[in-house]
Structure 1
């Protein structure tokens, strides 16, 4: 008899890592043994210092708050895992887990964790990666152990990444004078949405009041709101200089049993207050992982805040690269962060305008559309809006061009530079109605030339970031419909795909630029990465397959469609991974796009690794040359 409950649980879990890495049978085994738990608001799943349960948990619906005492340190939403650290540590819970709202939670046996998830390489790699930047427990002064008894894999360089880095503190502390009463001070805190206020005299800190003081000293009736703020302040304050490290901040808070530190000019109470460092700030540093960053993105109110978060994502990228986390995983994470930032920017921009006159979709194109934009490079995007009456189209276009300009400006503030070629939605050429996009694609396909081939290579790699999915689906259908009527287009696309020669000369030397700004440098993008990107795009289009936009996913699908060429496609995947990682490493090292490489600076091992990645380029180009009979039209 079919287990419909298990099937429903399986359908939910397979959409979230690490469960998406499991086989159907593995996932069904887990789903069949899941316990479904219901919690009303404020119910505890587990409590601090409680002996561990033989389970870890996944949020199905609702939200579970993770608390240290009464301080919310994280919020787990749909698909989030919690309670896993304690199971792995085999120790008491260090935090409280309490329902923020009515919630349904899946409880999964720790036995299944050990038997299935940890023994699955991809799932295990996800767990390692998810702990990689946050292996210490920030609420304890000693390390409680490692994840899978392999510390070198988990944190080869974690000390330099967190504990000894400078702590990032708020440089705009909220303050009041000694003659302020409790009610006035509380209003100031509420208006500024902060959990603390510093009492100062001549800009020097003499005391501090936190939300905890208001709860314990005022809400309990011990003090009236009309009393002076000094009656409930904690004094003296604990001060540190601006160059305080994360480790010093943690020790200072633990030693003094406080949650806020005052930052002064010289680290004493005798100089001016310049900042405030809270326990939450430390948690955010330790919680520099994708889920924390994306939650920060969703709460961001300005593009400037999003810029700060994206800079932290760059640190996350650096750490992942150093830890040799798989490049596909890294690309998915960074792409998810970039997409979340773009969505938030669109929401912020929409809030500045009247409601859209019709539905629309925002498209990431090029490398961002393929989810291969790891470094902060220029932005490429487009916009499609629903068809309207001819008399209304220019009015509607004006609205969306104005909206797109606002979005492009905010993306630039975050760090995504304007596209030099103006491949952006604020350009009237790339802000079109659905019918206009269809006509555009048809024109490119039926009248191909060098310029339209270049545009196809960019715009056929699109991914919907925001808006009406149906518009994008119809755009895709129009591309395949036009190609089916004018198949010679694929031959032209094939010529374009092999225009860049394999990266090595006859004597197996790197083909470098022979003139210009980058003379004697190797263009890893044009000569190595793009030939693989172009080949994957061409071949997937030739099979009339849509919704596979990344280079790796395209080659994987091609291996399934053409099993006789599976080895070649898999070698292309491996080569692409090597090249993408290498470019990312170069970009992080030189603080640029990583595109141009000084060959003479490469080690012998690096040269050999790159040369090994070049062979599939020649082979895939030869397959394209034969399949599309390019010798006849070149």
Structure 2
């Protein structure tokens, strides 16, 4: 946060010494950012907001470490705490769930391996429980650091990736795409770099993997009809609304991620990926500009989606009420969705050309 008030807030988060203080600061972040929603350019807004989310998560991890240290337990080996999903892409909205994992260095022997396994199981339990109290719900798909499948040593992660590569069914390829968006938020970043090295060295060797990745990438369709009409929710309490998350934002995230993986890019932010693809000559200046503007619009609309609170945690269903769609915004959205649809077709043609 570049302004003095924002810097002071980050400083207060960094020195918070208990859960109640962190929760109060999370609420303060939410209120301040809501007030800035209509004033800040969307990229600047997301940069400020995600810096605050990062600070809250980092402080939660530090406090969990300190709690275990008071009981005589310190990290037995270096580790890195990972964010996936929108957190990994630095695209979290005001409400964000926990998509997380952990990677730790390989212990020397079996006894130390068990000590490490138990320590990181205890640590992640503390982190996840505290983050829930701070207002971050756990991932509904159980992609979370308390799940032993997502809390592993480097060699176990290597084995896990190899297993996903060897039997790349739809679900395992979904996990590979999740790893592609991973970002280290705390600890030894080099551990994730080693994991990403293993990931990218094997990623596109197997055409079956590429085929499954393409199927996954194309799963969510852009919500614009053949006549340019918006495809709204038809039933239930959200009837008439537009699923901005899965009908606009996610299809574009998926398509740009697929292009980036094919190009060997390690950036995780969608806008950074578009920029790098242009610098590599994979996108023309006009295409990069069109994709950037469309994605900025989708990011802004995500911030306008329905917010709710459940058991003290911030939630968002990704649906945009028709009441918030002015004629000007609707026209912009239709243009953006047409660009997103063309992008999906482009990726489909390019990846099919590999087979």
What RMSD over aligned residues (CA atoms) do the two structures have, in Å? Answer: 2.3
Match of 1:381 in 2: 100
Q: Does 1:337 align with 2:52?
A: yes
Query: Are the aligned partners of 2:265 and 2:273 in contact in 1 as well (CA < 8 Å)?
Result: no
Structure 2 residue corresponding to 1:578, chosen from 255, 277, 297? 297
Offset, 1:444 = 2.1
Q: 1:330 to 1:600 in 2, by over 3 A?
A: closer
Q: Tell me, in whole angstroms, the C-alpha distance in 2 between the residues paired with 1:563 and 1:420.
A: 35
For the residues of structure 2 that align with 1:529 and 1:609, how far apart are their CA atoms? 14
Shift of residue 600 of structure 1? 5.9
Q: Is the Cα–Cα contact under 8 Å of residues 362 and 464 in structure 1 kept in the other structure?
A: yes
Alpha-carbon distance, 1:608 to partner: 1.1
Aligned: 1:366 with 2:85: yes
Q: TM-score, normalised by structure 2?
A: 0.90
Q: Which has the higher contact order (CA 8 A, sep 6+)?
A: 2
1:466 to 153, 164, 186: 186
Q: Is the Cα–Cα contact under 8 Å of residues 303 and 413 in structure 1 kept in the other structure?
A: yes
Instruction: Say yes or no: does 1:303 pair with 2:19.
Output: yes
Q: Is the 8 A contact 2:93 2:302 kept in 1?
A: no
Residues 559-605 of structure 1: CA deviation (Å, up to 9, x unaligned): 11126533222211111111111110234699851501233662222
Q: Compute the displacement of 1:516 (Å).
A: 5.8
- Give the alignment of 1:3-18 within 5 angstroms: none
What is the distance in 1 between the residues matched to 2:26 and 2:92?
13
| Paired position in structure 2 for 1:558 | 277
Q: Distance in 2 between matches of 1:448 and 1:466?
A: 30
Contact 2:120–2:151 (CA under 8 A) maintained in structure 1: yes
Structure-1 residue corresponding to 2:61? 346
Give the match's secondary structure for 2:304: helix
- Give the conservation status (yes or no) of the 8 Å contact 2:229–2:334: no
Equivalent pairs, count: 346
CA contact (8 A) 2:184 2:192 kept: yes
Partner of 1:629 in structure 2? 352
**Which of the two has greater helix per residue?**
2
Instruction: Give the Cα–Cα distance (whole angstroms) in 2 for the partners of residues 332 and 402 of structure 1.
Output: 31
1:478 and 2:193 correspond? no
Q: How many angstroms does 1:517 deviate by?
A: 5.9
Say if 2:173 and 2:209, in contact at 8 Å, map to a contact too. no
Alignment of 1:190-201 (within 5 A): none
User: In 1, Cα distance between the equivalents of 2:147 and 2:308?
Assistant: 33
Q: 1:543: which partner in 2?
A: 263
- Residue 606 (1) aligns with residue 329 (2): yes
Residue equivalent to 2:159? 439
Counting only pairs closer than 5 Å after superposition, residues 101-500 of structure 1 correspond to structure 2 as 130=3, 289-323=5-39, 325-353=40-68, 354-388=73-107, 389-500=109-220
Aligned to 1:117: none
Structure 1 residue ranges without an equivalent (≥5): 1-16, 18-125, 131-286
4+ aligned runs moved over 6 Å, structure 1: none
CA contact (8 A) 1:318 1:588 kept: no
3-state secondary structure, aligned to 2:101: strand
Partners in 2 of 1:347 and 1:600 — Cα distance?
43
CA contact (8 A) 2:308 2:316 kept: no
Decide which structure has the larger Cα Rg and report it.
1
Q: Residue 583 of structure 1 aligns to a residue in which SS?
A: helix
Q: Give the Cα–Cα distance (whole angstroms) in 1 for the partners of residues 150 and 163 of structure 2.
A: 15
The alpha-carbon distance between structure 1 residues 422 and 501, as it changes in their structure 2 partners (threshold 3 A), is closer
Aligned equivalents of 1:502, 1:565: Cα separation in 2: 22
- Look up the SS of the partner of 2:203 in the other structure: helix
In the alignment, the residues of structure 2 paired with residue 318 and residue 445 of structure 1 have an alpha-carbon distance, to the nearest angstrom, of 42
Report the CA distance between 1:298 and its aligned residue.
1.4
CA distance in structure 2 between the aligned counterparts of 1:299 and 1:532, rounded to whole angstroms: 38
Unaligned runs of 5+ in 2: none
Residue 400 of structure 1, CA deviation: 0.3
CA contact (8 A) 2:277 2:283 kept: no
**Structure in which a larger fraction of residues adopt strand:** 1
Q: 1:564 to 1:465 in 2, by over 3 A?
A: closer
Correspondence list, 1:43-122, <5 A: none
**Residues 352 and 422 (structure 1), Cα distance of their counterparts in 2 relative to 1, 3 Å cut:** same
In 2, are the aligned partners of 1:568 and 1:619 still within 8 Å (CA)? no
Q: CA deviation at 1:515?
A: 4.8
